[in-house]
A = this chain, B = another copy of it.
């Protein structure tokens, strides 16, 4: 019980201990980077996620690890803000670059592919710095996963015309398919009992697809990793995945894509971001989280339509667009309490601090309460 409590939240005491050894500090920063993809500043979250990805595909797990290390080291070489590096904020875009290129570059474990992951992940660190400078002072919003999206899409679009990489720019997913209802019901031959597994599968794959892992087991490990750091976040991840599925049903989206979690992953990120991370969780922000998740799913389909002529994947652009739009109304809505970017820790901690008005929290290098 005491051991579990040690893992909760951002694990600040462990962070300080890890800093005694350079290699351990780097590993800690990188694992937090993997966790920060889902806004979790926690190395155990990152470890469980990497385990899930590796179970889904060894190359996916390895490429994600290479990406996060390359991006984090690039931030160190460029002497960017140490607190941000330690909290994984320069690593998560690199982790996604690794996952994204692992999915769209063939063959696996190719030297050229590995070089591409390293270069594009390191470049995502530069884009992260640029976007922060562009967005934070003017609008008070973060760049989210835009650096990953911009860097990876630019690379894939550039490589698409060449002979050096030959990315799979037509997403490997079949375009044909039946409606959502049909596909989810296709396992139901034996009766209604099978609908529950099919639904569970779609929901969990939606969480796994945040890391481009088309696997319910990976989704389960991502959820478990998130729960170590924040139960609220894990809960909203599931809520988001469900909202994405419902939007797919409403729009009559492709059932095959829905079953494989593609309608869900943007909504997962939207729901977690709005439902406790950037806004203090209360009834109003919970409603906004659901609305943002719905907007994320609609934009997923819209981005797909706009990118279809060039055959590139939409990655998490829909999440970025929907969440930035919802974050920008933070000064408008009476009662929605925005968490200042420098004070973000976990949804649970945001609720505790904000419910004792007048007490400003102390912060250390990892933004954790003292």
Interface residues of chain A, those whose CB is within 8 Å of chain B, are: 78-80, 123, 126-127, 129-130, 133-134, 138-139, 153-155, 157-166, 179, 248-254, 295, 298-306, 308-310, 312, 325, 328-329, 331-334
- Give the Cβ gap from A227 to chain B, nearest Cβ, in Å: 31
A–B pairs, 19, beta carbons within 8 Å? A78-B333, A127-B325, A129-B332, A130-B325, A134-B328, A138-B138, A154-B298, A154-B299, A158-B299, A158-B305, A159-B251, A161-B253, A161-B301, A162-B248, A162-B252, A163-B179, A164-B249, A306-B310, A308-B310
- Give the Cβ gap from A213 to chain B, nearest Cβ, in Å: 23
Knowing that A154-B298, A305-B312 touch, tell me 12 more A-B residue pairs with CB under 8 angstroms: A126-B325, A130-B325, A130-B328, A130-B329, A154-B302, A157-B301, A160-B305, A161-B254, A162-B248, A162-B251, A164-B249, A164-B253
With beta carbons under 8 angstroms apart, the residue of B154, B254, B309 that contacts A310 is: B309
Task: Please report whether the interface of chain A is mostly helix, strand, loop or mixed according to DSSP.
Answer: helix
List B contacts of A155 (CB < 8 A): 298, 302
Nearest chain B residue, comparing its CB with the CB of A164: B252
List B contacts of A333 (CB < 8 A): 78
- Give the Cβ gap from A262 to chain B, nearest Cβ, in Å: 11
Assess the A126–B329 pair: CB atoms within 8 A: yes
Assess the B301–A162 pair: CB atoms within 8 A: yes
Assess the A306–B130 pair: CB atoms within 8 A: no
Assess the B157–A302 pair: CB atoms within 8 A: yes
With beta carbons under 8 angstroms apart, the residue of B133, B158, B295, B312 that contacts A298 is: B158
List B contacts of A304 (CB < 8 A): 161
Give the CA-CA distance A298 to B139 in the complex, in Å: 29
Nearest chain B residue, comparing its CB with the CB of A78: B333
List B contacts of A127 (CB < 8 A): 325
With beta carbons under 8 angstroms apart, the residue of B133, B157, B163 that contacts A252 is: B163
Assess the B157–A295 pair: CB atoms within 8 A: no
Assess the A305–B310 pair: CB atoms within 8 A: yes
Assess the A305–B134 pair: CB atoms within 8 A: no
- Give the Cβ gap from A332 to chain B, nearest Cβ, in Å: 5
- Give the Cβ gap from A111 to chain B, nearest Cβ, in Å: 13
- Give the Cβ gap from A270 to chain B, nearest Cβ, in Å: 14
List B contacts of A331 (CB < 8 A): 133
Q: Which of A157, A304, A331 has the most CB of B within 10 A?
A: A157
- Give the Cβ gap from A191 to chain B, nearest Cβ, in Å: 26
- Give the Cβ gap from A63 to chain B, nearest Cβ, in Å: 19
Assess the A254–B162 pair: CB atoms within 8 A: yes
- Give the Cβ gap from A147 to chain B, nearest Cβ, in Å: 11
List B contacts of A253 (CB < 8 A): 161-164
- Give the Cβ gap from A179 to chain B, nearest Cβ, in Å: 5
